[in-house]
Amino acid sequence: MTKNVLTTNVKNYMNKKYLVFLIIAVAMLILIGRAVNNSYKDPAVKAEAAPKSDGCVTVKGYFVCVNEEYFVKVSRLIADNDTDAIQKLIDQKAVFMLNGGDKVFIAETHLLSGAVEIRLPGSTDQFWTNIEAVKCQ
């Protein structure tokens, strides 16, 4: 009888362990699926979803970065008040200061990060900056 109870307890324990593993595996598959789905951007959809950007101008005193990586980096350096590190990025020409009043087009808005991708008229290069750095009419 003791052997039967022990065997039942072991089976219950293994079933619970398997169930936890299964739940974790399903959760990870869902998260991976969402990440893959969010990383794919259909160019046709992106073009339609881009905000209208006629009449947008830059606001003086904000940083503009050559890509998202530098935007995240300079945002952290600003929060840390690390002016020496920011100057190094400026010297590397990865980060620039915006002049006020320059006409720009908004290529894409990233609401969660508080960033916009902008481009100058006649240019295909896109730059990252804060949403507040661009004023549109």
Nearest C-alpha neighbor of 100 from the set 55, 133, 52, 125: 133
Is CATH 2.60.40 the classification given to domain 51-136?
Answer: no
What are the residue boundaries of the structural domains of the chain, listed by start?
Answer: 1-40, 51-136
**Quick check: helix, strand or coil at residue 136?**
strand
Give residue-wise pLDDT tens across range 46-98.
443 444 556 899 999 999 999 999 999 999 999 999 999 999 999 999 999 99
pTM listed for this prediction: 0.59
Give residue-wise pLDDT tens across range 5-32.
556 655 665 666 665 554 665 566 566 6
Q: What angle do CA 22, 23, 24 make, to 5 degrees?
A: 90
